[in-house]
Amino acid sequence: MPHANSLYGPLDPAPDAGYVDAPPRMGFFTDTSVCIGCKACEVACKEWNLVPESGRDLLGMSYDNTGALTANSWRHVAFVEQPRPAGWATPAFLDTPDGPPVSPATAEVAAHTSTDTGTYPGLPSGSPGAAARMSGGSEFLGMPGAHPPGRGSGAEGRTDFRWLMMSDVCKHCTHAACLDVCPTGSLFRTEFGTVVVQEDICNGCGYCISACPYGVIDQRKDDGRAWKCTLCYDRLGVGMTPACAQACPTESIQYGELEELRERAAARVATLHERGVPEARLYGHDPDDGVGGDGAFFLLLDEPEVYGLPPDPVVTTRDLPAMWKRAGLAAMTMAAATAVAFLGRRP
């Protein structure tokens, strides 16, 4: 029988998906505080999974010329330039003759770029205002008290600077809407608790794409099917590490048993807080969150939305029982209305 938390709440997904004696749940912990933005993950993933090309345009989004997770980019390294202090470092541009920061303005320009990613709908352009804010941070909106005078407000010349980098990937949610809405059973839960598209099954109905609260899964042009990170299901099956995690030079991408990764992550946050990086926080680690916790979670140094992540995603299927109820009610209303209409007086 389905678990009480089958649609929402903490859950061990593999047993719920019918695996008896499932191995421990495996996942990724991506620690962006050590990411060097080298993109080895992007390439290693493409090499292993034979993922096609995803566009050759200069996007102007700092060093990000990939743009987003798509069917043709299963790892995506985000780059954010911000005139704000990096917790561990002394101000980058102390006493240099600078004017105000340009990153909000360049982010705005970059919001307009696009490229043919070989996927549908590709890389849509963005909202310039929201782009500017990502780089400026709230203090650029005249919010009071963000920083002591002379630091980062931009009016008197930039001093602080940090360059955020983050390798994004499918979250392998505990409650994976993409999987649950898939009408063919192409998307399925593996024994490792990961979420995988079975390419021999997918018929390209596209439902999973709308269902994903993270905008991860995507449809490939000229192929029609949906594609995303498989957490290297084939490699896991023979005891290997996923290609991206194996390649990652600085262990920003860590692969392992989810339970253990969560402990490691909590310790890392504590360390960073001790070392003067109070902005370090975890994202997607909590089994009580809106998706039951992610199988791939992150240590971030800014708000999730700055990295293109939804700040508080909730799996859509949480509300599915209520939806069915409303649909049932509507159906009955419809039947009743018809009956009434016909049972009325004959002319």
Partner 1 sequence: MTDTTRPDRQRQAGRGRGHGGEQLTVPPADFSSYYGRPVLKPPVWKHDIAGYLFTGGLAAGSALIGAGAQLTGRPGLRTVSRWTALGGVAASTYLLVHDLGRPARFHHMLRVAKLTSPMSVGTWILAAFGPMAGVAAVAELAPLLPQHGALGLARRLAPPVGDIAGLAAAATAPALATYTGVLLADTAVPSWHDAYPSLPFVFAGSALAAASGVGLIAAPAAETAPLRRLAVAAATIELVGGRRMERLGVTGEPYAHGRSGRLVRAGRALLAVGTVAALVNRRSRILSAISGAALVASSVATRFGVFEAGRVSARDPKYTVLPQRERLDQHGPTAGR
Partner 2 sequence: MAEAHPVGFQWVMEAKRRGAKVFHVDPRFTRTSALADGYLPIRAGTDIALLGGVVRYILENELDFREYVISYTNAATIVTEEYRDTEDMHGLFSGFKEENASYDQKSWRYAGNGQNAATRDTETQRETAAGLEHESHGAPVNGQTERDETLQHPRCVYQILKRHYARYTPEMVERVCGISQEKFLELAEAWTRNSGRERTGMLVYSVGWTQHSVGVQYIRTGAIIQLLLGNVGRPGGGVMALRGHASIQGSTDIPTLFNLLPGYLPMPHHSDHPTLDDWVDSIRHPGQKGFWGNARTYGVNLLKAYWGDAATAENDYCYGYMPRMTGDHGTYQQVLDMIDGKIKGYFLLGQNPAVGSAHGRAQRLGMANLDWLVVRDLFEIESATFWQHAPEIETGEIVPEECRTEVFFLPAASHVEKEGSFTQTQRLLQWREKAVEPPGDARSELWFFYHLGRIIRERLATSTRPRDRALLDLNWNYPTHGPNAEPSAEAVLYEINGYEVASGRPLSTFTEMKDDGSTAGGCWIYTGVYADGVNQAARRKSRHEQDWVAAEWGWAWPANRRILYNRASADPDGNPWSERKRYVWWDPDKGEWTGYDVPDFEKTKPPSYRPPADSSGVAGLAGDDPFVLQGDGKGWLYAPTGVLDGPMPTHYEPVESPVRNPLYRQQANPTRKVYTHPINTLNPSPPEEHSQVFPYVFTVSRLTEHHTAGGMSRMVRPLAELQPEMFVEVSPELAAEVGLNHLGWAHLITTRAAVEAKVLVTDRLTPLRVDGRIIHQVWLPYHFGFEGLVTGDSANDLFGISLDPNVLIQESKVGTCDVRPGRRPRGQELLDLVADYQRRSGDLGPHYPPQVTTDVADSGRDPEV
Partner 3 sequence: MGVRSWFEGWPVYRQLTGTDPLGRGAASKSAGSLSLTARTDTADSVAKSVCPYCAVGCAQRVYVKDGQVSQIEGDPDSPISRGRLCPKGAASKSLVTSPLRQTTVRYRRPYGTEWEDLDLDTAMNMIADRVLAARDETWEDVDAEGRPLNRTLGISSLGGATLDNEENYLIKKLFTAMGALQIENQARI
- Which partner in partner 1, partner 3, partner 2, none is near 1 (CB below 5 to 8 A by kind)? partner 3
DSSP string, 285-338: --TTSTTS-BSEEEEESS-GGGGT--SS---GGGGHHHHHHHHHHHHHHHHHHH
Strands across the sheet containing 26-31: 253-257, 26-31, 296-300, 281-283
Residue 158 in contact with partner 2, rule: CB under 8 A? yes
CA dihedral over 296, 300, 303, 306, signed as positive or negative: negative
Residue 83 in contact with partner 2, rule: CB under 8 A? yes
Contact between residue 93 and residue 161 where contact means Cβ atoms under 8 Å apart: yes
Residue 269 in contact with partner 1, rule: CB under 8 A? yes
- Minimum distance between the CB of residue 30 and partner 2, rounded to whole angstroms? 15
Point out which residues bind partner 3 (CB under 8 A). 1-2, 6, 13-14, 16-20, 38-40, 42-44, 47-48, 179-180, 185-186, 188-191, 196, 198-201, 232-235, 237-238, 240, 243, 246-249
Q: How would you classify residue 84: left for phi > 0, otherwise alpha for psi between -120 and 50, otherwise beta?
A: beta
- Which partner in partner 3, partner 1, partner 2, none is near 97 (CB below 5 to 8 A by kind)? partner 2
- Binding mask 29-68 toward partner 2 (x if CB under 8 A, else -) reads -----x-xxxxx-xx--xx-----xxxxxx-x-xx-xx--
Among 97, 148, 149, 311, binds partner 2 (CB under 8 A): 97
Parallel/antiparallel/unpaired status of strands 187-189 and 75-82: unpaired
Residue 27 in contact with partner 1, rule: CB under 8 A? no
- Minimum distance between the CB of residue 166 and partner 1, rounded to whole angstroms? 10
Residue closer to partner 2 by CB (options 34, 320) is 34
Among 61, 245, 248, 258, binds partner 1 (CB under 8 A): 61
- Residue 73, beta-bridge partner list: 70
Going by the DSSP 8-state scheme, the letter that residue 241 receives in this structure is P
Q: Total binding residues for partner 2 by CB under 8 A?
A: 52
For the purposes of burial, counting CB atoms within 10 Å of the CB of 330, is it exposed (0-12), middle (13-18) or buried (19 or more)?
Answer: exposed
**Residues 215/132/111/244 CA torsion (nearest 10 deg):** -50
Among 125, 150, 250, 259, binds partner 1 (CB under 8 A): 125
Cis amide bond preceding 121, omega within 30: yes
- Minimum distance between the CB of residue 115 and partner 2, rounded to whole angstroms? 9
Binding site for partner 2 (CB under 8 A): 34, 36-40, 42-43, 46-47, 53-58, 60, 62-63, 65-66, 81, 83, 86, 88-90, 92-103, 105-106, 109-110, 113, 158, 161-163, 165, 249-251
